[in-house]
Amino acid sequence: MITETQYAHFPSLTLDVGETLPNVQVAYETYGTLNAARSNAILVLHAFSGDAHAAGIDHEGKPGWWANMIGPGKAFDTQLYFVICANVLGGCRGTTGPSSLNPATDKPYGLSFPGITIGDMVRLQKMLIDKLGIARLLAVTGGSMGGMQALEWAASYPEAVEACIPIASTARHSAQQIAFNETGRQAIMADPDFNRGDYYDKTPPGRGLSVARMIGHITYMSDESMREKFGRRLRERQEFSYDFGADFEVESYLRYRGTQFVGRFDANSYLYITKAMDYFDLSAGYPSLAASLERAQSRFLVVSFTSDWLYPSYQSQEIVNALRSRNHDVAYCELSSNYGHDAFLVDVGEQTGIVTGFLARCAREFRTPAGQVGR
Amino acid sequence: MITETQYAHFPSLTLDVGETLPNVQVAYETYGTLNAARSNAILVLHAFSGDAHAAGIDHEGKPGWWANMIGPGKAFDTQLYFVICANVLGGCRGTTGPSSLNPATDKPYGLSFPGITIGDMVRLQKMLIDKLGIARLLAVTGGSMGGMQALEWAASYPEAVEACIPIASTARHSAQQIAFNETGRQAIMADPDFNRGDYYDKTPPGRGLSVARMIGHITYMSDESMREKFGRRLRERQEFSYDFGADFEVESYLRYRGTQFVGRFDANSYLYITKAMDYFDLSAGYPSLAASLERAQSRFLVVSFTSDWLYPSYQSQEIVNALRSRNHDVAYCELSSNYGHDAFLVDVGEQTGIVTGFLARCAREFRTPAGQVGR
């Protein structure tokens, strides 16, 4: 299926930082058909560098980032469900972010864009869902930062979420997760082309952004998957160069992924979105994580992967334990995979079966916003 | 004890790359006294950013990097042993490296410095040991890159090594280890001040070097030790800044460690030494790792740490298995620690007991180069 990106507009969005953002645009795609009862909508939430193009093929032939999970007969079966995916607030793929024009100055915001949170991203998604006329989502789901948004949805809009499926995610960023993000930010801000975020009519800080992406890619893979994919294989040569060229395949791969990223992502979005992740702590302002999930009315399916060292299983288990301690309906699956954090994107065999079964049950027992069971 | 750095000079050093490096200087320190039989010498080999100052206190009051392991009554007991530590080839702390003057041009080498290997570092150390009149070392030991050098010693100069103690190390760099190093190198080379390595009379590439060091520091700690040391604690504030300042303690810590490193380390040395680590594969040119250790005549004590994810225990176990398969005398200890890769430097309680006992036995059964047992 060829997909079309659509755009919704809102006069303003109130932010956690206390400011109000005017003229907000949201880029989103939908797949499948909303049923008459409006009870089959699933909101898919993307990870750090994702976008609204989650499924199908776009006009340039590019498949969606979760095309192996969304489509006819897939985990998020578009013959059964109406799937929505929107680019996050602060992004650079159609939703308002630091590269958008500030209506007050008619120039890109740059660093004058206000600080944002996962809560802000979700508040804007709620406005979109309201606009689409959906009172209660069958499910909210996503991996990594997508899982954080899913949790925020369940905690902030309990009446609007039947099922919540956070995958390879966490209820709060750890010191190590903050540390990796901060190193990427420093790489960007160290690039003289960064120019305090004011580079939109100049050369963007591509060298810094590329280094930041290289760091990211290492954390997305596992030691095992890097060994399997690259090992110590040399790149198009028999001997070491001794010249700081790319001797090893893993070096040229990382350089390529870094450079490629510069063409499709905005450095300021990198800063704003990683900060939103670092600020994320669902339990902030509550005595405990369990207390922050007290009001939730969702069924939960929590998924993690054995070799994911960036969002290790213990973080998913913290979510599960908090939910169990409040007698929430929660299932937890730790899936065996060598692919590290990338597993939720690439190693979807077992994930598909688990999500399919869980969604079928949630659809069967869907409770209308008033509380009655049934579609 | 106040320590003095000494300097040895050699007319030339032959390198693995095929070139000959002229006028080579080695900075080294010694602690304790060489006995009459010259049978109590221990060569301590430093990690990536270390130097010759391993023990005691220097004239500026700075303790040695392994002062908790070397000294009277410590693991490397200077009342019993004569301990030697030299700055590695390619370093920037007194031994010839890319910041040294090229005698042919009377300017710093910069990137005209030849490519180097762990084997080259060890070849130069062997020249130093010969000059000190030591035919057989009681032990070679070190953590991380120091452990790689220790293994290279045992494999390349079997008759000169009674005991080999590689700690938190590996017989070959993995794809993930290469990937982290490569990202650091790219951060340095992306800094415009790098100027193709020609910056010695200008501003050094401090921003790039600082980012490289931040990456390193994350890999030296464990997820657990970062959580214990920093958690999500904010730095001198109650609320988030939303301005890309250092909100979290872990951010300001990493920034500080990055900036501090720039004052004491040379960016070109960073490039050359990390490449030497990446090139390191003891088994290269042999059918197996075991075959590469065939000729060794040492007793081995291999140590790793449970939370060290940069040099994980399986890499130490590979060494142990290779040695066992050739019936070498090898003991392996995986020590429990939360400190990650840093454990070999900071969590030395258990390590001390194990090394002390092993060394006492090796000293008792010391074999002279001709093969007779006994001091």
DSSP of A237-296: -SS--SSSS--BHHHHHHHHHHHHHHTT--HHHHHHHHHHHHH-BTTTTSSSHHHHTTT-
A190 vs B207, B231, B246: nearest CB: B207
Angstrom distance (rounded) from CA A349 to CA A346: 9
Q: What is the largest CA-CA distance in chain B?
A: 70
Nearest CA of chain A to the CA of B311: how many Å?
11
We report the CATH number of the domain holding residue A138 as 3.40.50.1820
Q: Which of A257, A276, A295 is the last residue of a domain?
A: A276
Cβ pair A226:B179 closer than 8 A:
yes
B175 vs A175, A250, A271: nearest CB: A250
What is the pTM (predicted TM-score) of this model?
0.96
Q: Are residues A219 and A322 in the same domain?
A: no
Q: Are residues A87 and A227 in the same domain?
A: no
Strand partners, A6: A28
pLDDT tens, residue by residue, A229-254: 999 999 988 889 999 989 999 999 99
We report the CATH number of the domain holding residue B247 as 1.10.1740.110
User: Tens of pLDDT along chain A (375 residues)?
Assistant: 799 999 999 999 999 999 999 999 999 999 999 999 999 999 999 999 999 999 999 999 999 999 999 999 999 999 999 999 999 999 999 999 999 999 999 999 999 999 999 999 999 999 999 999 999 999 999 999 999 999 999 999 999 999 999 999 999 999 999 999 999 999 999 999 999 999 999 999 999 999 999 999 999 999 999 999 999 999 988 889 999 989 999 999 999 999 999 999 999 999 999 999 999 999 999 999 999 999 999 999 999 999 999 999 999 999 999 999 999 999 999 999 999 999 999 999 999 999 999 999 999 999 876 655 544
Q: Are residues B298 and B330 in the same domain?
A: yes
Q: Which of A251, A276, A301 is the last residue of a domain?
A: A276
Q: Are residues A105 and A231 in the same domain?
A: no
Contact A78, A72 (CB under 8 A): yes
Q: Are residues B155 and B38 in the same domain?
A: yes
Could you tell me if A214 lies within 8 Å of chain B, comparing CB atoms? yes
Cβ pair A244:B189 closer than 8 A:
yes
If contacts are CB pairs under 8 Å, which of residues 147-206 in chain B contact chain A?
172-176, 178-180, 182-183, 185-187, 189-192
CA B262 from centroid of its chain's CA atoms: 19
Range of the domain at A310: 6-174+281-364
Q: Are residues A202 and A162 in the same domain?
A: no
Could you tell me if B110 lies within 8 Å of chain A, comparing CB atoms? no
Q: Are residues B182 and B167 in the same domain?
A: no
Cβ pair B183:A218 closer than 8 A:
yes
ipTM for the predicted complex comes to 0.95
| Phi and psi at residue A28, to the nearest 5° | -150, 160
Cβ pair B230:A189 closer than 8 A:
no
Nearest CA of chain B to the CA of A209: how many Å?
10
Residues for chain A: how many in total? 375
- Chain A residues touching B115 at Cβ < 8 A: 240-243
* Residue B307 a catalytic site member: no
- Chain A residues touching B111 at Cβ < 8 A: 244
Convert chain B into a string of H (helix), E (strand) and C (coil): CECCCEEEEEEEEECCCCCEEEEEEEEEEEECCCCCCCCCEEEECCCCCCCCCCCCECCCCCECCCCCCEECCCCEECCCCEEEEECCCCCCCCCCCCCCEECCCCEECHHHCCCCCHHHHHHHHHHHHHHCCCCCEEEEEEECHHHHHHHHHHHHCHHHEEEEEEECCCCECCHHHHHHHHHHHHHHHHCHHHHHHCCCCCCCCHHHHHHHHHHHHHHHCCHHHHHHHCCCCECCCCCCCCCCCCCEHHHHHHHHHHHHHHCCCCHHHHHHHHHHHHHCECCCCCCCHHHHCCCCCCEEEEEEECCCCCCCHHHHHHHHHHHHHCCCEEEEEEECCCCHHHHHHHCCHHHHHHHHHHHHHHHHCCECCCCCECC
Q: Are residues A156 and A286 in the same domain?
A: yes
Q: Are residues A22 and A92 in the same domain?
A: yes
Could you tell me if B71 lies within 8 Å of chain A, comparing CB atoms? no
- Closest Cα in chain B to A283: B232
- Closest Cα in chain B to A19: B242
Q: Are residues A10 and A79 in the same domain?
A: yes
**Could you tell me how many CB contacts below 8 A there are between chain A and chain B?**
157
A175 vs B230, B246, B258: nearest CB: B230
**How many domains does one find in chain B?**
2
A373 located within any domain: no
Convert A10-53 into a string of H (helix), E (strand) and C (coil): EEEEECCCCCEEEEEEEEEEEECCCCCCCCCEEEECCCCCCCCC
Instruction: Give the pair of three-digit tokens for residue A241.
Output: 């160069």
Q: Are residues B104 and B247 in the same domain?
A: no
A310 located within any domain: yes
